[in-house]
Structure 1
Amino acid sequence: MKLFSNTITSLEKGLNYSSLKQKVISQNIANEATPGYKAKDVSFKETLQTAVNQGIPAYRTDSRHYEFNISEPSTKGIVTRKNVSFNENGNSVDIDNEMSDLATNQIYYNALTERISGKFSSLQNVIRGGK
């Protein structure tokens, strides 16, 4: 019997993505005046592929089977933005774009936390016997 559904695992991976995106946006904002700094972004496609590769539950029933290792979250999804305009000092951070991305990421994070909170409330209700 599986105690937690795949929904909680998916929500956890979404929170990991949102956390990584928050770190990248924060770095971009912090380096807004740094000469030559290239703005970075998080590639959802690469992050999703990494999550899918790490999220395969497998049990070795024979020593000849491949081992499945689940590693710590990586920064493979971080890419340098291309096709952007540069400031006079060679910096490619657009503060308005970063603040917009920050607000979007905050809404995404809040939606995920609300959903996972609801899942845990449902589990708590079941544990209490519906009372």
Structure 2
Amino acid sequence: MLESVTATALSSALDGLSLRQRSIAENIANINTPGYHAKRVQFEDALRAAVADGSGSAQASVERSLEPTRLNGNNVNLDTETLSNIDTVLRYQFATQALGAQASAVTKAIGQASA
């Protein structure tokens, strides 16, 4: 497919959202692990800057949560992880639909040009 800033940005967003989904799953899996600190994935600010500079390509970063811990040193909150998971799934669905629509438009344009 022809690369555009939009397609590159959507692809970067999907990568970041996928990494966030994996981090959420890891956080939930370690909800009872003493000393475990939840992971937080950040990419939106980098993506915004990449779109503004015309590249659309951004890397996600994983950071340890600084949220307060329980007595066992763990700071995973199931409510926070559940809400983040729902938000991430919805954003991922939106981005895949947008990327699919763009690919469909390019395919249609190529088909019309060759006819």
Superposition TM-score tier, normalisation by shorter sequence: 0.7 to 0.9
Instruction: Tell me which amino acid in the other structure corresponds to 2:41.
Output: V
Q: What is the count of residue pairs matched by the alignment?
A: 108
| Superposition TM-score, scaled by structure 1 size | 0.71
Q: In structure 1, what is the Cα distance between the partners aligned to 2:26 and 2:70?
A: 17
Query: What does residue 118 of structure 1 align with?
Result: 101
Q: Distance in 2 between matches of 1:129 and 1:86?
A: 59
- 1:11 counterpart letter in structure 2: L
**CA separation of 1:80/1:11 partners in 2, compared to 1, >3 Å: closer, same or farther?**
same
TM-score w.r.t. length of structure 2: 0.80
Structure 2 residue runs without a partner (length 5+): none
Name the counterpart of 1:40: 39
Change (3 A) 1:115 1:45: closer
The structural deviation recorded for 1:20 is: 1.1
Q: Tell me, which stretches of 5 or more residues in structure 1 are unaligned?
A: 57-72
Instruction: Specify the structure having the higher radius of gyration (Cα).
Output: 1
Overall identity of the aligned pairs, in %: 32
Identify which range, 98-107 or 17-26, moves more after superposition: 17-26
Residues 34 and 73 in structure 2, CA contact (< 8 A), matched pair in contact too: yes
